[in-house]
Structure formats: C-alpha cells, structure tokens
Amino acid sequence: MTKDLTSGSPMRLILGFTLPTLFGLLFQQFYNLVDTMIVGKLLGAQALGAVGATGSINFFVIGFCLGVCSGFAIPVAQRMGAKDYPQMRRYVANAAYLSAIIALVLTVATGIFCRDILAAMKTPADLFEDANAYIFIIFMGIPVVFLYNLLASIIRSLGDSRTPVYFLALSAGLNIVLDLMFILLFQAGVAGAAIATVLSQAVSGLACLVYMVKKFPILRVTREERKPDLVACKALCAMGLPMGLQYSITAIGSIVLQASVNALGSIYVSAVATGSKIYQLLACPFDAMGAAMATYCGQNVGANQLDRLPQGVRSCSLLGLGYSIIAFAGMLLFAPQSAMLFLNSNEPQLELLVGLTSQYIVILTAFFFPLALVNILRFSIQGMGFSTLAILAGVLEMIARTVVGHFFVPALGYTAACFASPAAWICADLFLIPACLGCIAHLRRSNPIASLETISRTMSGVKPAKA
C-alpha cells in the first residue's frame, strides 16, 4: 500500500505519483463543476454569480483547511522516508487531535460572521441572500473537509496516491445525484448545491477512514502512540499552520480583488465565476504536481537522499512546462465552448458573458508556466521542512492581487482583473526560485555526508537499496 520515493528515476516516480493524484483532484473538481453547471443551467446566471461571489472567502477558509492538512502530512512523509514508523504514527494521532480542534473553531467562527464577511466584500444586493445561503452551508461542512483531506494527505505521504481517488470517484457520482435531488426535487436552490457538496465530502471522508483502518496496518496506532504529545503537536503546527496561513494570506489578495470585481456589477461577477471554474479544472495538474513534490521531497529528506531533490524539481518543472503549453493552446481554440458548459443558451447578454469569460481564461492560461513553478517550488520547499519560508511567497501573491484589485481594477476595469493572478504568480516565482535553491544548498551544508554517499553510489554504479 505504501511507496518508496527515495530510489529510482525521479521523473518516473513523480509522474507515477502525479497521475493518480491528478485523477483524484479532477474528481474533486468534477463535483464542484457539477454544482456550477447545474446551478448555471437550472437556476440561471444570477444564482451562478451568487456562488461565484463567495469564491474568494471560500478559498480563504477552505484553503486554510487544505493547507493545514497538507502540512500535517509532511512530518509523516519524513518519518516514512526515515523508516521511523512509531514516530510516524504519533504524528498521525496528534494530527487528528489538532484537526478536530481547528475544525471546531473555524466552523463556529465562520458561522457567526458569515453575513458580515459578505457585506464587507461588497457582495451585490441581488446576489447576497443566495451567496449567504451557499457559503454558510459550505462552512458548516468544514469538519468533513478536514476528515477527508487529512486522511488523504496522510495516505499520500506514505506514497499511495491511488486510494483517495477511488473514494472521490464515489463522491463525485453521489454529488450529481444529490445536486439534482435537492435542486429539482426539493427546490432548494443554491443551498441544495451546497448541501450536496458537503454530504458528498462526508461520504468520501468516512469511506477513506474505514479503508485506511482496514488496509493500512502500518498506521495502526498503539495505546502509547495515540497519547497527546506536545513535541509532536509543535512539529505538526510548525508545518501545518504556515501552510494554512500561506493559503489564507494568498486569499486575502483574492478577497480584495473579488470586492473590486463585485463593484463592477453582476455580469462581471458571473464571468469571473464561470472562468474560475474552468481555471480550477485546468489547474488540477499543477496541484497534483505540488502534492507529488511535497511527498517526494519529504521522503528524500527523511532518507538523506539530498542529491535527488534538484533532480525531482527539474523533472517536475519539465512536466509543468509541457502541460502549460497544451492548456494555453486548448483555451485559444475552445474558450467560448468551455464557457457554454456552465451557461444557459437563453441567458440575457449571453454573447457579452461568453466573451468576458473567454478573455479571463485565455489570459490566465497564457501564464500557466509561472503557476506551475509556484506549485512545484512551494511544495518542494515545504516538503524539505521549510514551511514558514513558503509563507513569503503567499505574501507576495497577496500584495500583487491587492495592488491590482485596489488600484488597477477601479481605474482600468475588467481587463486589469484578468491580469491580477498572473501578476501574483510571477511575483511569487521571483522569490520561490532562489528560495528553493537556497533550501537545497542549506540541507547539503547541514548534512554533507548524505550528499557524499549519493555521489559515491553514482561513481561506483551501485543503486540505493529499496526499503
């Protein structure tokens, strides 16, 4: 069930890990897209705009949850690479305790302040009630977000990127049925789409838990290992909280940008909402590459295979470049057709809405390689154990989006909003490229023996033994 990423071809290992993760992310996006398609086709562009108006605050809160879960899995991956299984299981147990506490706090806080947040973001009055209904239910589902993503991150940290995909496939199919049931049968509107999403996530999380307990004996925690451990909690928080904050800091810029777009009017909100759904689907490979690099770097640092780190970064960057070119070419040819997947052909101002959506997604895909580097380098740095350092990249993204949203969108309009994310990615890369190189150099200086052993094996033609 587990996979050792500390020996063998980096390109082959990363590609083999990325593909199952990608399928899982695609399933995850699939049921998000189904929400959008059903809302747009059955409830109209205004309801679609209401869901889209919550996108940045959704990213702010749920992104923090995802970042925390990913960060908690990095010490697990490092102990897996070091073959220190008792300590690995201690990290797993304490990650569960911390996740439960964080989930409870976030659920209560977001439920109380939901309407105030939407008001502060200048959500258009004609979208406000639907937006509040949707995002409130999503926030009430934060515990199941933690349930699935923590378990999936831990399983991936052991080298198994396939198992979580199976449960997401189940969840995606269930989500379609529940969407149609709540919207068509129960007439629940956008709230029905949110309920379907939360219930589907809950099913995938519970299924993942049952399967992990039965099929992963390496994770069966003893009574001693499940005791709360302050040292383990500190190590987990040192990785998880910075990763969560990195997502949230990045989202602050998105919130400022969303508020500026909201001020432009409902049709622009709907265009960005539609384009964002296409973008989220197209960007899945970069998220999968990031997840692969976090596990790859974590295991190799744990095993002291430090010379494999730059090899992995180069190999994954080549994958990112190839996919970026394909995605841009695809949107140049098929952006309008992609937009129509989410829009009703009887929609008023349809031609303008399709044009605005196409403009948005073509500009974003033109800068996909900088986005690829953001994911690859950031997660590599985090996998190496420098999670706090990666926050600075999120700060740069936040500053770039804030500047564009606060100054350029009011002055230049919608086109400026389309260039906000590319500007953020480029700013982040200006920091991440030298930072990643510096982290690798620091590890080599701190542990020169590991590098010398790798060089010796290479010169003698002896491959590292597999665990």
CA dist 255 and 270 (Å) reads 16
Answer whether residue 324 is part of any domain: yes
Residue type, 369: F
pTM for the model:
0.71
- Look at the chain and report how many structural domains it folds into: 1
pLDDT for the residue 455: 37
CA dist 1 and 162 (Å) reads 9
Answer whether residue 80 is part of any domain: yes
How would you write 221-270 as a 3-class SS string? CCCCCCCCCHHHHHHHHHHHHHHHHHHHHHHHHHHHHHHHHHHHCHHHHH
Beta strands in 6-154 (DSSP E): none
**How many degrees, rounded to 5, is the angle at CA 291 between CA 326 and CA 218?**
140
Encode the chain (467 residues) as per-residue pLDDT tens digits: 556 677 788 888 888 878 877 877 776 676 666 666 777 777 776 777 778 778 778 888 888 998 899 889 888 888 887 888 899 999 999 999 999 999 999 999 999 998 998 888 778 788 888 889 999 999 999 999 999 999 988 888 887 777 877 887 788 788 888 888 888 888 888 888 889 889 988 998 898 898 888 888 888 888 888 899 999 999 999 888 888 887 777 777 777 787 788 788 878 888 888 888 888 889 889 988 988 898 889 888 888 888 899 999 999 999 999 999 999 999 999 999 888 877 767 777 788 888 999 999 999 999 999 999 999 999 899 888 887 787 888 888 888 888 888 888 888 888 898 999 899 999 999 999 999 999 999 998 887 554 444 433 433 343 443 33
Answer whether residue 262 is part of any domain: yes
How far is Cα of residue 431 from the mean position of the Cα atoms in its chain?
A: 20
Answer whether residue 254 is part of any domain: yes
Q: Going by C-beta distance under 8 Å and a sequence separation of 6 or more, which residues neighbour residue 90?
A: 221, 225, 229, 232
DSSP string covering 70-113: HHHHHHHHHHHHTT-HHHHHHHHHHHHHHHHHHHHHHHHHHHHH
CA dist 237 and 233 (Å) reads 6
Answer whether residue 1 is part of any domain: no
Answer whether residue 47 is part of any domain: yes
Answer whether residue 106 is part of any domain: yes
Residue span of the structural domain in which 316 resides? 10-460
Alpha-helical runs (H) found in 283-386 = 284-302, 308-340, 350-366, 368-383
Do the beta carbons of residue 381 and residue 293 sit within 8 Å? no
Q: Of 130, 26, 146, nearest to 98 (Cα)?
A: 146
Answer whether residue 85 is part of any domain: yes
